[in-house]
């Protein structure tokens, strides 16, 4: 078992991962880390792609609810969609984004942070080229499933 860990923050649009950041040696992503990602990584990508009215779908984690993060979204007129509490079945990155990135690399011994980044960048580029991230498109279907099972987890 390695003694290093990397947290990963990502943002998806349509069928692509459009912004991401690696946070080595960070045990927990807090509001400062998340706000830095939104301001320094995601916002420039939104501007570059000319996304006029971003819709943000995020879970109810503490960093997402922090007043500084909310103020940024309000100031830039980004709409944050409501997310029911305790609903991982309704989080597209959880049900297809991150698993799509991890799956092709299962069983590969990543030796250090540089190796992880190189490997994941190749995977992300390939998945983006194939338009593989379909989670947001599957959201209405998954929402219907959640209603049918009355909020119980499924998969």
Query: How many CB atoms lie under 10 A from the CB of residue 40?
Result: 11
Average pLDDT of span 61-74? 95
pLDDT attached to residue 37: 97
Residue 94 reports pLDDT greater than 80: no
* pLDDT cut 90: percent of the chain above it: 54
Residue 129 reports pLDDT greater than 90: yes
DSSP string across 68-137: HHHHHHHHTTPEEEP--TT-GGG-HIIIIIHHHHHGGGTT----SHHHHHHHHHHHHHHHHHTT---HHH
Residue 1 reports pLDDT greater than 60: no
Q: Could you tell me the domains of the chain? A: 6-148 (3.30.420.10)
Min mean pLDDT across 11-25, 53-67, 93-107 is at: 93-107
Token pair, residue 6, equals 């990397």
Residue 155 reports pLDDT greater than 80: no
Maximum alpha-carbon separation in the chain: 44
Round the average pLDDT of the chain to a whole number and report it: 87
Place of tokens 């943002």: 11
Listed in sequence order, the residues at least 6 apart from 26 whose beta carbon sits closer than 8 Å to its beta carbon are 5, 7, 33
Model pLDDT for residues 29-44, shown as the tens digit of each residue: 999 999 999 999 999 9
Cα gap 124→93, rounded to integer Å: 13
Residue 116 reports pLDDT greater than 70: yes
Cα gap 6→27, rounded to integer Å: 8
pLDDT attached to residue 140: 76
Token pair, residue 55, equals 């819709």
Burial of 129 (0-12, 13-18, 19+ CB in 10 A): exposed
């Amino acid at each position: 078992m390695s003694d290093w860990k990397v947290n990963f923050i990502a943002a998806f649009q349509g069928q692509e991962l459009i912004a991401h950041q690696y946070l080595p040696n960070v045990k927990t992503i807090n509001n400062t880390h998340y706000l830095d990602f939104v301001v320094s990584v995601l916002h420039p990508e939104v501007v570059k792609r000319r996304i006029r009215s971003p819709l943000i779908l995020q879970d109810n984690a503490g960093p997402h609810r922090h007043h500084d993060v909310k103020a940024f979204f309000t100031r830039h007129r980004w709409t944050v969609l409501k997310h029911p509490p305790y609903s991982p079945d309704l989080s597209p990155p959880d049900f297809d984004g991150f698993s799509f990135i991890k799956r092709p690399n299962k069983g590969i011994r990543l030796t250090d942070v540089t190796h992880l980044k190189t490997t994941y960048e190749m995977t992300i580029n390939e998945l983006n080229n194939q338009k593989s991230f379909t989670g947001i498109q599957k959201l209405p279907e998954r929402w219907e499933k959640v209603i049918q099972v009355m909020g119980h987890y499924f998969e």
